[in-house]
Amino acid sequence: MHYLRWKRHGDPLYTLPVTSGCPVDGCDRPSKSKRSAHGWCQKHYERWRAHGDPGVTLRPGVGWVKDGYRAIKAPDHPMATADGSILEHRLVLFDLIGPGEHECHWCSTTVTWSESWPASRRALVVDHLDFDGLNNDPANLVPSCHPCNAGRTRRWEDDHAAPAKAS
């Protein structure tokens, strides 16, 4: 440890300087290491990582894209997470079909919103028919079980397409 401190800083007793607070205006949280988080606190560092701006504020109904899906702030929605956000496709399908049990669009297995994946194979997963995670048109969303959702690919769709009718 001391050797590495000497190699990096020229002093075997070197310690990282203690920074005061987060440099974002109005934030009184302690900052993380300047080297790994630009001196911001954890909250503002995570906002910068997710949105490219440490000062971004999220308002109800305003969305952002995460992992290819649009998330929005809807703290009063029954499907909202602890931070008040919800993936838009889950909100749209929940508002369309309601709570409770439903059939998987592909295999008719009973799935439910109240179960959580991966703990349960009965968890309802929202499937985008056109494979576009940002197309949250109600006609593009169907309830699915996880095995069907995970196994479905564009090639699977091509192989299982209905045969063309002869004219």
Instruction: Tell me the mean pLDDT in the region 13-25.
Output: 76
Whole-angstrom distance, CA of residue 167 vs CA of residue 148: 33
The pLDDT of residue 138 is above 80: yes
Question: Is residue 16 a part of any domain in this protein?
Answer: yes
Q: The domain containing residue 106 runs over which residues?
A: 88-161
Same domain for 41 and 103, yes or no, is no
Amino acid 17: pLDDT = 65
Question: Is residue 129 a part of any domain in this protein?
Answer: yes
Q: What is the pLDDT of residues 61-72, one digit of tens each?
A: 566 666 678 888
Whole-angstrom distance, CA of residue 68 vs CA of residue 48: 17
Question: Is residue 140 a part of any domain in this protein?
Answer: yes
Question: Is residue 77 a part of any domain in this protein?
Answer: no
Q: What is the pLDDT of residues 107-124, one digit of tens each?
A: 999 999 977 766 788 899
* Mean pLDDT score of the chain: 81
Q: Is residue 93 very low, low, confident or very high in pLDDT (cuts 50, 70, 90)? A: very high
User: Cβ neighbours of residue 79 under 8 Å, at least 6 residues apart?
Assistant: 86, 90, 91, 94, 113
The pLDDT of residue 140 is above 80: yes
Alpha helices in 10-75, H assignment, sequence order: 34-37, 42-51
Q: What is the pLDDT of residues 26-85, one digit of tens each?
A: 888 887 665 566 778 888 888 777 767 787 665 555 666 666 788 888 889 998 888 888
Amino acid 92: pLDDT = 94
Task: Judge if pTM exceeds 0.85.
Answer: no
Same domain for 41 and 101, yes or no, is no
- CA–chain centroid gap for 142, Å, is 19
Between the two ends of the chain, the Cα-to-Cα distance in Å is: 78
Same domain for 92 and 44, yes or no, is no
Q: Which residues pair with 144 in a beta bridge?
A: 125
User: Cβ neighbours of residue 99 under 8 Å, at least 6 residues apart?
Assistant: 78, 113, 114
Does 75 sit behind a cis peptide bond, omega within 30 degrees of 0 on the bond before it? Answer: no
- CA–chain centroid gap for 106, Å, is 24
Same domain for 104 and 157, yes or no, is yes
> Are 144 and 126 a contacting pair, CB within 8 Å?
yes
